[in-house]
Amino acid sequence: MADTVVAEEGTMAPTVDTTTAATTTTTTVAVEADMSRFNRACSVQICTKEGYSAFDCFKRHDASYTPPQKSASAAISSHYGVDSNWYMDTGATDHITSELDKLTVCDKYHGGDQVHIANGSGMRISHVGHGILRSPITNLQLKSILHVPSANKNLLSVNRFTCDNEVFLEFHPNYFVVKEQSTRKLILEGRCENGLYPMRSPNK
């Protein structure tokens, strides 16, 4: 419906069609909202931070910038023994496993990144995917797991685990607990074994 604008005497009053303008504005707002949600869910490929696009990243034209390397402090440590448990690692930037069947969803990795360990050597990444760690209370999400065939043990990145599940960890001399951030409700607990904190499945 057109709105009529009152003109001075002796001139023709122009009309303005506000229907098209309103539709365009609504569509623009919807697209911007979708892009905002998309940006919050994705990490920038350049600096790996979330919340904006690679085009807007201020590191994009910095030739001296080197993105952070993926690392694991104990991926080849023999102290972990031979088992299929997940071990919590405060030095790991990502979840790492040598067992492909721990990924419920996975894709072949075609990038050039490697996982760097304490001695400086790198390990090839074969697949990336997601998994689930079951607990008596809820299923805990393991996002962005790196399948590294040469890794000796399965490592849980403490930082990624707490962020993705909105939980926090308490490490004590003889045990550890996982609690929900908002309610402090106990979700999972386990024992310290030989100075390490294995995240065992409930049936073990």
Would you please indicate which residues are annotated as catalytic (active-site) residues?
89
Q: How many Å apart are CA 68 and CA 94, to the nearest integer? A: 12
Contact 176, 192 (CB under 8 A): yes
Backbone angles phi, psi at 90, to 5 degrees: -75, -15
- How many angstroms from the chain centroid is the CA of residue 106? 15
DSSP-assigned letter for residue 51: S
Overall residue count recorded for the chain in this entry: 204
Contact 105, 126 (CB under 8 A): no
